[in-house]
Amino acid sequence: MKFISTRGGECVSGARAIVQGIAKDGGLFVPEQFPQVTREELEQMLPQSYAERASFVLSKYLDEYDAEELTRACEQAYSRFEGEDPAPLVKIDAGLYMLELFHGPTCAFKDMALTLLPYLLRKGCDLCGIKETVLILVATSGDTGKAALEGFKDAAGVKIMVFYPDEGVSKMQKLQMATQEGKNVRVVAVRGNFDECQTAVKKIFTSDACKEELLKKGVVLSSANSINFGRLAPQIAYYFSAYLDLVSSGQIDMGAEVNFAVPTGNFGNILAAYYAKRMGLPVGKLICASNKNNVLTDFIRTGVYDKRREFYKTMSPSMDILISSNLERLLFELSGRNALRVQMRMEKLAADGVYELYDEEKEQVRELLWADFCGEDETVETIYEFFEEYQYPMDTHTACAMYAAGNYIAQHEKDAAPMVVVSTASPYKFPQDVMYAITGNDIKDSFKAIKHLNIATAMKVPASLAKLREKPVRFTQVADKDGLYPLALGFAEEK
């Protein structure tokens, strides 16, 4: 399987796509074609463990990786999760299910990929004959940073540096990153928002001068953001697994369609569902849920992507994004894989802050996606009302998805497909906001909020968060967005 750039300038192996992270022309790597999963193969996957299912899906794309070794890597990665199933599907009500993706080491869905990415990257380096140290640069809106740091800590031949918006993540997310262990990790807060962090990191990746200077020092760049296909690919697997769980539990017949509601910021999570659909999984409608930063909702409804709007800091910070990088991969497919059209739109977005789809592309979007956004008051109300009815606590991002799912169901009574809401983080990652929503109590201290939330919900506190209070803060540096490369270079030079 070869991978090509969405902007047309490159064709590489899967291993090279993962190691490199982003194409030299600034585009994102996509598979040359979508591998298919037959009904017979789906039947064969029914009795498999999650790790076996994930390995099978990944092997469809990464055929140069040894299949048995890939399975062992998946088993090792997902053995770090709490509970027997890394991605359990919970039945809430008739036709309504929650896909819990927060049982990993950092209590967010990013663990589903970032516990496995170190293996994919190390093996990719071996397959490509790369001997240099790999420097991973990550821009994060909260969850990716911690999951990447935890996944790559003390990995041989790898250094990882994470940049996050100083005032754009929750207190718990900031503490998770600031206390990160590992000799090969570095964390820097950036004065600005996530889009500015992401843009600054992308500039480093697409700068020949930066890459040449690092290479002279024996360092090559890679990414752990979802712009890296090695981050995206493992996420495809949990959509297959959720579907198979519905079949094996007798909730649906094989072949019946299922809808998924996904809280969306950078568009990677919902794109993985789209890839699963393109591979043959019977996916119906994809519900794209945004928060107050509703650039994607407007895009899906109108076909116009316009980032020229006010940026809001919300209680769902991982979705506080106005430039959704992974949307470029969907644009590539909507355009009939027209790389020139994608490049022109990305240039127009950078220059003017806006672009518009053609009419036939708008129709494709409406057929595939349905969008809604959830404001701050609606987020609080959704968490409260859902807990009152089902005694099920959810985090702020999942609440946005549940709100959108509820609106879709109310407006599309003829669509009888089951609805799976993708739950992307533990409520304990945002304890103050969830506690306020459920009880009305405004608790300033994160750990007091965790204690009171545990009393109110009886939901088990993840061990990794319970231990945070005892960990020393290691990283306090704050930098301007224009000064990230010198910091990265200095980190690369450290022995």
Radius of gyration of the chain (CA): 21
| Chain-centre distance for alpha carbon 338 | 25
Contact 263, 422 (CB under 8 A): yes
Does residue 495 carry a pLDDT above 90? no
Q: What three-state secondary structure class fits 169?
A: coil
Contact 292, 399 (CB under 8 A): no
Encoded tokens for 221: 């760049």
Does residue 9 carry a pLDDT above 90? no
| pLDDT value, residue 31 | 98
| pLDDT value, residue 244 | 98
Contact 133, 157 (CB under 8 A): yes
Band of residue 106 on the pLDDT scale cut at 50, 70, 90: very high
Residues whose CB is less than 8 angstroms from the CB of residue 473 and which lie 6 or more positions away in sequence, other chains included? 175, 178, 179
| pLDDT value, residue 351 | 97
Encoded tokens for 404: 């959108």
Contact 319, 407 (CB under 8 A): no
- Average pLDDT, integer, range 84-109: 97
* Closest by Cα among 406, 122, 102 to 238: 102
| pLDDT value, residue 167 | 87
| pLDDT value, residue 200 | 93
Band of residue 403 on the pLDDT scale cut at 50, 70, 90: very high
Band of residue 225 on the pLDDT scale cut at 50, 70, 90: confident
Does residue 312 carry a pLDDT above 90? yes
Q: Which residues pair with 3 in a beta bridge?
A: 12, 31
Q: Which residues pair with 259 in a beta bridge?
A: 419
Encoded tokens for 255: 């072949």
Output phi, psi for 9, to 5 deg. Answer: -95, 0
Does residue 385 carry a pLDDT above 90? yes
| 263, containing H or E segment | strand 258-263
Whole-number average pLDDT of the chain: 96
Burial 247-259 (b: 16+ CB within 10 A, else e): beeebbeeeebbb
Contact 431, 459 (CB under 8 A): no
| pLDDT value, residue 63 | 96
Q: What percent of the chain has pLDDT over 70?
A: 100
Set out the domains of the chain in order of their start, with CATH numbers.
89-104+230-460 (3.40.50.1100)
Q: What percent of the chain has pLDDT over 90?
A: 94
Distance CA(450)–CA(461), nearest Å, equals: 8
Band of residue 448 on the pLDDT scale cut at 50, 70, 90: very high
Tell me the pLDDT tens digit for each residue of 129-181: 999 999 999 999 878 899 999 999 999 999 999 999 998 899 999 999 999 99
* Closest by Cα among 257, 235, 238, 214 to 489: 214
Tell me the pLDDT tens digit for each residue of 19-71: 999 999 999 999 999 999 999 999 999 999 999 999 999 999 999 999 999 99
| pLDDT value, residue 479 | 96
- Average pLDDT, integer, range 272-297: 98
Q: Which of 110, 174, 277, 429 is catalytic?
A: 110
Encoded tokens for 472: 């020393």
3-state secondary structure 87-122: CCEEEEECCEEEEECCCCCCCECCHHHHCCHHHHHH
Encoded tokens for 438: 């459920």
Encoded tokens for 160: 């990882």
| pLDDT value, residue 237 | 98
State the DSSP string of 418-441: -EEEEE-B-GGGSHHHHHHHHH--
| pLDDT value, residue 142 | 79
Residues whose CB is less than 8 angstroms from the CB of residue 66 and which lie 6 or more positions away in sequence, other chains included? none
Catalogue the long-range contacts made by 252-257 (C-beta closer than 8 Å, 24 or more residues apart): 252/418, 254/39, 254/42, 254/43, 255/39, 255/282, 256/282, 256/417, 256/418, 257/282, 257/283, 257/284, 257/417
Distance CA(59)–CA(15), nearest Å, equals: 12
| Chain-centre distance for alpha carbon 291 | 16
Strand arrangement, sheet containing 2-5: 11-13, 2-5, 29-31
Output phi, psi for 383, to 5 deg. Answer: -60, -45
Residues whose CB is less than 8 angstroms from the CB of residue 358 and which lie 6 or more positions away in sequence, other chains included? none
Q: What three-state secondary structure class fits 409?
A: helix
Band of residue 332 on the pLDDT scale cut at 50, 70, 90: very high
3-state secondary structure 10-47: CEEEHHHHHHHCCCCCCCCEEECCCCCCCHHHHHHHCC
- Number of C-beta neighbours around residue 388 at 10 A: 10
110 catalytic? Reply is: yes
Band of residue 228 on the pLDDT scale cut at 50, 70, 90: very high
- Number of C-beta neighbours around residue 209 at 10 A: 9
Q: Which residue has the tokens 């209590």?
A: 107
